[in-house]
Chains A and B, each alone.
Chain A
Amino acid sequence: ETGVTQSPTHLIKTRGQQVTLRCSSQSGHNTVSWYQQALGQGPQFIFQYYREEENGRGNFPPRFSGLQFPNYSSELNVNALELDDSALYLCASSPMTVAPEEQYFGPGTRLTVT
Chain B
Amino acid sequence: DQQVKQNSPSLSVQEGRISILNCDYTNSMFDYFLWYKKYPAEGPTFLISISSIKDKNEDGRFTVFLNKSAKHLSLHIVPSQPGDSAVYFCAAPRLSGNQFYFGTGTSLTVIP
Spell out A's residues near B (CB within 8 Å).
Answer: 4, 31, 33, 35, 40-45, 48, 55-56, 58, 90, 92, 94, 96-98, 100-108
Chain B, residue nearest A91 (CB): B43
User: Which of B14-22, B62-70, B87-95 lines the interface with chain A?
Assistant: B87-95
Q: Does B45 interact with chain A (Cβ within 8 Å)?
A: yes
Q: How many A-B residue pairs have CB under 8 A?
A: 71
By size class, the interface of chain B is: 20 to 34
Given the known interface contacts A43-B89, A104-B43, A106-B43, the answer about A56 and B95 at a Cβ–Cβ threshold of 8 Å is yes
Q: Give min CB distance, B6 to chain A, whole Å.
A: 8
Chain B, residue nearest A9 (CB): B41
* Alpha-carbon distance A32/B19, docked complex (angstroms): 33
A97 touches B97 (CB 8 A): yes
* Alpha-carbon distance A15/B32, docked complex (angstroms): 39
A100 touches B43 (CB 8 A): no
Chain A, residue nearest B31 (CB): A98
Chain B, residue nearest A44 (CB): B102
Given the known interface contacts A42-B104, A100-B34, the answer about A105 and B98 at a Cβ–Cβ threshold of 8 Å is no
